[in-house]
Amino acid sequence: MAPRKLHLPDSAAVSESAADGRRFAPSAGRNAAPILELLTREAPARGRALEIASGTGQHVRAFAEALPGLDWQPSDLAPQNLDSIRAWAAGAGLANLAGPILLDAAQPGWAAGLGPLDLIVTVNLLHLISHDEARAMITEAARALSPRGLLFLYGPFRRTHGFASEGDVAFHARLAEQDPEIGYKSVDEITAWLRAAGIKEIRTVEMPANNLTFLARKT
């Protein structure tokens, strides 16, 4: 998949860099704590972890600091994001945080080169890519997981009964105006794609601001 140029609520802030190259996304700053609270409860104590779509690099640094038993591999589709990810990693000086790699997670075949992985995390990605790309990413991530490996998917999703709020309706509409192929995926769609990929142990956890986390463990 090619990187999309979308106007998002964080777009202006993310475009500004600190002197050392770090960029800051306000949404990543806001959701880091609840994501970490859940992740530290559910993640394996040790092993290999991949973050898909690391963006600015804020999250993966926090993950590596909070979960030192995991060796973290950040990744992103957009080459321009790698410098910010490197800058956040360099500022932490963490031995368990590798340099970022370019990764098109919707492209079949990457699991063979990166797996087996004990944990795969992606935050606020699935509503920004098409249905075909989202399903391909989930399928490949399932292939990359080790037995009992965990796929952690966080973001905004449509519930079975519809959108969780009027704000979600409006945000989905703004995304669809920019690219009709993207927008919110439903809980039922994500669950079906996970099951088709061979993952049967699936839980959803309500998160702040009407977001959800899918906890999908490979059995």
pLDDT per 10-residue tile (average), the chain, 219 residues: 60 60 84 96 97 95 96 95 92 89 96 96 96 97 97 97 96 94 97 97 97 96
Residue 194 pLDDT: 98
Encoded tokens for 207: 């998160």
207 backbone φψ class: left, alpha, beta (φ>0; ψ -120 to 50) = beta
Residue 9 pLDDT: 61
Backbone φ and ψ for 75, nearest 5 degrees, come out as -155, 160
Residue 199 pLDDT: 96
Question: H or E element: which one contains 84?
Answer: helix 82-92
Residue 147 pLDDT: 95
Global pTM?
A: 0.93
DSSP secondary structure string for all residues of 30-77: HHHHHHHHHHHHHS-SSEEEEEES-TTSHHHHHHHHH-TTEEEEEEES
Residue 92 pLDDT: 72
Contact (CB, 8 A) for 8 and 156: no
